[in-house]
């Protein structure tokens, strides 16, 4: 079974239609072609659907990088167990 980070990477690849994306903690939106406010919402919804979790708006409003998103997803997955 793939780790949740590998799964998260697959969600990124699907949302941005780019099989070359490799997520890492310091990754920020301007490093990903096509990442704008609309695709960010699509990404968050896709993550919620994939992992069966829910984000609150305040949790995702100011995430500084993908590392913070990874931490948030991990926290949600642990809380779900």
Burial class (CB in 10 A: 0-12, 13-18, 19+), 47: buried
- Which positions ≥6 away from 34 have C-beta within 8 Å? 16, 17, 18
Residue 69 pLDDT > 70: yes
For 4-80, CATH gives 1.10.1200.10
Mean pLDDT of the chain: 94
pTM as predicted: 0.93
Q: What are the boundaries of each domain within the chain?
A: 4-80
**What pLDDT digit, counting tens, does each position of 10-45 carry?**
999 999 999 999 999 999 999 999 999 999 999 999
């Amino acid at each position: 079974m793939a780790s949740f980070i590998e799964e998260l990477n697959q969600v990124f690849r699907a949302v941005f239609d780019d099989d070359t994306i490799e997520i890492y903690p310091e990754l920020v939106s301007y490093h990903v072609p096509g990442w704008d406010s609309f695709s960010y919402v699509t990404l968050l919804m896709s993550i919620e659907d994939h992992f069966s979790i829910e984000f609150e708006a305040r949790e995702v409003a100011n995430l500084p990088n993908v590392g913070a998103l990874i931490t948030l997803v991990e926290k949600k997955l642990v809380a779900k167990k």
